[in-house]
Amino acid sequence: MATQTAFGAPPDGLHQGLRKKPLGRPGEMIVMALLTACAAVSVITTFLIVFVLFEETLGFFEEVSLADFFLSTEWQPLIGNEPTFGVWELVVGTLNVLIWSMVIALPLGLAAAIYLSEYAHPRTRRILKPILEALASVPTVVYAFFALTFVTQDILRPFLGTDQIGFFNALAASIMLAVMVLPTITSVSEDAMANVPRELREAAYGLGATRLEVATRIVVPAALSGIIAAVLLAVSRVIGETIIVAIAAGSTPNLTLDPRDTVQTMTGYMLQVGLGEAARGTVQYTSLFAIGATLFVMTFSLNVLAMWFVRRFREEYE
Amino acid sequence: MAAAAPASLVSLRASGQLARRQFISRLSRYVFLGATLLAIGVLAFLVFDIVKQGGGRLSWDFLTTYPSRFAERAGVRAGLLGTIWVVGTTIVLTIPVGIGTAIWIEEFAPRNRLTQLVRLNIANLAGVPSIIYGILGLAFFVRFTELGSTILAAALTLSLMILPIMIITAQEAVRQVPPSIRDGSLALGATRLQTVWHHVLPGAVPGMATGAILAISRAAGETAALIMIGAAAFAAFDPTSINDKFSLLPIQIYGWIIAPRGQGFEANAAAGIIVMMMGILTLNLTAAIIRERFRRP
């Protein structure tokens, strides 16, 4: 149900009663004004985010040319004399952990969603789903700890060989990012699958389809826009996650998609600057906001797209 | 069974192509179950590993002493108190605004494009990465309004971060209250606000409480945004007001994770995680209990 609470509007005409009645005493006007002020807070928040990002990014581009930002392939902002600001190194770093975490999380998350929606006994589902969702309440610093002390030290380096994979590597980060978004993918796509009308399944069974065929050829295609929304939300969470990548993937910008290498993501760079307390007005400080704006544009587009898919799905079956 | 049946009876078992399809379908059950159990196995192993690594460090002293250069003498006192201060302040700031916004949108806002935009905007804010809230807090609360790296600046930042989740769950709770209750109250002559105060709010409280607790547990574990606004990894003092500097449990854990290897700080990080997870688990359990207790049949 999570998707519906997040994006749903109640149908028009539902409890319109309160709206039509005029306000009573003058005191009520004050309360009304307070309520409206509360609602204004989130609108103001959006304006603040956009304004802050825009203003400081403008400052950044006064010192760094657009060409350097978009065409240079090296991100060396903290080097004294000749810093370079090629954003691609950070974007590719983010892409690296994104690709590998999705390679792991997508099959697992979708398989779990199919199991919960199509195979599991309702009682089993009632037990398993909350446990899976508990993964979502684990703070990411815990996953970061696990990525470094367990995934890298006890699994990856002993098995792949210490000459093959470094202490900081994209793979360990990707694995824990996958664990982090698993509940998002499973929960949102399971909701979508559960909303596929029963009649579709029954028609397929009536034609002699097996359970697997119903699941993969009827339910999954019918729930596709919900599943896509789940994936987009997961992607948006992965590229916005900071602590896991900062701790496990290292802090060396690296133009590579090899999961064994150390990379720095956009968020990883932001955290690095944040730890160093860059002085206001320096180009390091404004670069924080230029990267932040890049990240914001990406996650914002993904979220809007996800909402569009959810709405499309709901129009189909409700 | 089929083998025992007389040969003259037609076997009901599928054969050939159909048998293969049915076999694959039966097999698929275990593949999908396997994927589900793997995810749950990870959670179980995570708990096991962390208890194994950090269990030995847990003691009363660990909770009541300040950080130290020596791993075995360090404790989480500053982080724990800081987290209690920051989360407490966040609760005070977030809950009224969250409930107010939800009530306004669901009960009073005109049904027009503007309201729809406000609604979409909130859903969007819920998807903004925490580190963006972190740099917003840094630029606006810490620098522009000159609050500095204080508990208040941290709580304001966290409030903005969890407000969307709080609002969305509170909206859902308000929507769950049947319209007939409103109609009944209005028909008996209650004003709109009386109806909300006496009938809508009481019915929505369990749902709102659940949402609030889940939102707060997110704030309690947040690390990146608060590093951005300059929370200290290691502090050796107790906060006494919201204008004090502070440390936080997740940030202390972060500090121990990135500390030099082989000096026992990993065990400290694990022990810190146990303390933090106990708190977050308690919050989530409370939310689950409230939800079950007040579940509508």
Judge whether A274 and A288 are in contact, CB under 8 Å.
yes
pLDDT of amino acid B293: 78
**Contact between chains at A18 and B108 (C-beta distance less than 8 A):** yes
**Among all residues of chain B, which has the CA nearest to that of A240?**
B129
List, in order, residues 6 or more apart from B277 with CB less than 8 Å away: A138, A142, B50
R_g of chain B computed on alpha carbons = 26
Q: Say whether residue A232 is in contact with chain B using an 8 A CB cutoff.
A: no
Residue pLDDT, tens place only, A64-111 = 888 888 888 788 877 666 778 888 989 999 999 999 999 999 999 999
Percent of chain A with pLDDT over 70: 88
Q: For residue A46, which phi and psi values (nearest 5 degrees)?
A: -60, -45
pLDDT 10s digits, A210-254: 999 999 999 999 999 889 989 999 999 999 999 999 999 988 888
* The pLDDT of residue A108: 94
pLDDT tens-digit readout, B133-184: 999 999 999 989 888 888 999 999 999 999 999 999 999 999 989 989 999 9
Helix (H) or strand (E) holding A195: none
Rounded to whole angstroms, the Cα distance separating A48 from A62 reads 21
Across the interface, whether the CB atoms of A270 and B228 are under 8 A apart is answered: yes
Q: Taking the C-alpha atoms of B89, B92, B93 and B97 in order, what is their torsion angle to the nearest 10 degrees? A: 160
**Cβ neighbours of B35 in A, within 8 Å:** 107-108, 111-112, 115
What pLDDT score was predicted for residue B222? 92
Smallest Cα distance from A296 to chain B, Å: 7
Would you say residue B132 has pLDDT above 60? Answer: yes
Q: What is the pLDDT of residue A1?
A: 36
- Cβ of B25 and A212 within 8 Å? yes
Work out the average pLDDT over B36-58.
Answer: 87
Q: How would residue A3 be classed by pLDDT, with cut points 50, 70 and 90?
A: very low
Helices and strands of chain A, counted as H and E runs: 16, 2
Two tokens at A156? Answer: 């990856």
Average pLDDT estimate for A165-176: 91
**Contact (Cβ atoms closer than 8 angstroms) between residue A240 and residue A203:** no
Q: Are B82 and B235 in contact (CB under 8 A)?
A: yes
Say whether B41 sits in a helix, a strand or coil: helix
Q: Closest-CA residue in chain B for A31?
A: B193
Contacts of B130 in chain A (CB under 8 A): 240, 242
- Please tell me the predicted confidence (pLDDT) of residue A135: 82
The encoded tokens of residue B85 equal 């201060």
Q: What is the mean pLDDT of residues B210-221?
A: 89
Per residue in B9-44, pLDDT (tens digit) is 666 677 788 888 889 999 999 999 999 999 889 888
A44 touches chain B (CB under 8 A): no
Q: Can you read off the two tokens belonging to residue B30?
A: 């275990």
Residue A281 above 80 pLDDT? no
Chain A residues with beta carbon closer than 8 angstroms to that of B204: none
Measured CA to CA, the distance from residue B253 to residue B227 in angstroms comes to 12
Contacts 24+ apart (CB under 8 A), A215-224: A215/A114, A215/A118, A215/A119, A215/B28, A216/A114, A219/A114, A219/A117, A219/A118, A219/A193, A220/A110, A220/A114, A220/A193, A222/A196, A222/A317, A223/A189, A223/A192, A223/A193, A223/A195, A223/A196, A223/A313, A224/A313
Is residue A314 predicted with pLDDT exceeding 80? Answer: no
Q: Is the pLDDT of residue A32 over 60?
A: yes
Report which of A155, A223, A146 is spatially closest to residue A185, judged by C-alpha positions. A223
Give pLDDT, residue A82.
74
Confidence of residue B297 (pLDDT cuts 50, 70, 90): very low
- Which residue on chain A is closest to B22 by alpha carbon? A210
Q: Does A58 touch chain B (CB under 8 A)?
A: no
Q: Is the pLDDT of residue A264 over 50?
A: yes
Of A18, A43, A277, the CB nearest to B107: A18
Tell me if B275 sits within 8 A of B81, measured CB to CB. no
In single-letter form, the type of residue at position A153 comes to: Q
pLDDT for position B8: 54
CA-to-CA distance for A18 and A166, rounded, in angstroms? 63
Q: Are B249 and B76 contacting, i.e. CB atoms less than 8 angstroms apart?
A: yes
Q: Does A66 touch chain B (CB under 8 A)?
A: no
Distances (CA, A) of B249 to B234, B255, B267, B268, B273: 10, 10, 15, 11, 8
- The residue of chain A nearest to residue B95, with distances taken between CA atoms, is A38
Angle, helices A26-63 vs B151-176, to 10°: value is 130
The CA–CA distances, whole Å, from A295 to A95, B130, B161, B224 equal: 12, 11, 16, 15
| Cα of A218 vs its chain's centroid, Å | 28
Q: CA separation (Å) from A165 to A193, A213, A245, B65? A: 39, 41, 16, 38
Bigger pLDDT: B259 or B97?
B97
- Please name the residue of chain A whose CA is at the shortest distance from the CA of residue B38: A108
d(Cα A67, Cα A56) in Å, to the nearest integer?
Answer: 18
Q: Tokens in use for B43?
A: 């959670």
Residue of B nearest to A277 (CA): B230
Give me the pLDDT at residue B60, please: 81
Closest among A40, A24, A85, A56 to A296, alpha carbons compared? A56
Mean pLDDT (chain A) is: 85
CA B32 to CA A86: how far, in whole Å?
A: 43
For residues A163 and A249, the model is more confident at A249
Minimal C-alpha gap between A50 and chain B (Å): 9
Tell me the per-residue pLDDT of B69-118, one tens digit each, with 9 for 90 and over.
777 777 888 889 889 999 999 999 999 999 999 999 998 888 888 899 99
Whole-number percent of chain B with pLDDT over 90? 36
Of B106, B124, B183, the CB nearest to A17: B183
For residues A47 and A45, what is the distance between their CA atoms, to the nearest angstrom? 5
Single-letter amino acid code for the residue at B202:
P
* Facing B253 at nearest CB: one of A38, A145, A182: A145
What is the secondary structure of A4-43 as a DSSP string?
Answer: HHHH--PPTTTT-HHHHSPP-SHHHHHHHHHHHHHHHHHH
User: What's the rounded Cα separation, in Å, for the pair B154 and B137?
Assistant: 7
Structure tokens at A187: 């929960």
Q: How confident is the model at residue A24 (pLDDT cuts 50, 70, 90)?
A: low
Q: Which of residues 133-192 of A touch B (CB under 8 A)?
A: 134-135, 137-142, 144-146, 148-150, 179, 182, 186
CA distance B112 to B93: 28
Beta-bridge partners for A75: A85
Q: Which range among A282-286, B4-8, B41-45 shows the weakest confidence by mean pLDDT?
A: B4-8
Looking at residue B10, its pLDDT comes to 66
CA distance A155 to A151: 5
Task: Kindly report whether the global pTM for this prediction surpasses the value 0.90.
Answer: no
Question: What's the pLDDT at B1?
Answer: 45
What's the farthest any 2 CA atoms get from each other in chain A? 76
Q: Which of A16, A94, A110, A137 to mutate to test the interface with B (most CBs of B within 10 A)?
A: A137
Task: Say what the ipTM of the complex is.
Answer: 0.87
3 state DSSP class of A84: strand
CA B278, CA B273: separation in Å to the nearest integer? 8
The one-letter amino acid code at A46 reads T
Q: Do B163 and A19 touch (CB under 8 A)?
A: no
Q: What CA–CA distance (Å, rounded) separates B142 from B151?
A: 10
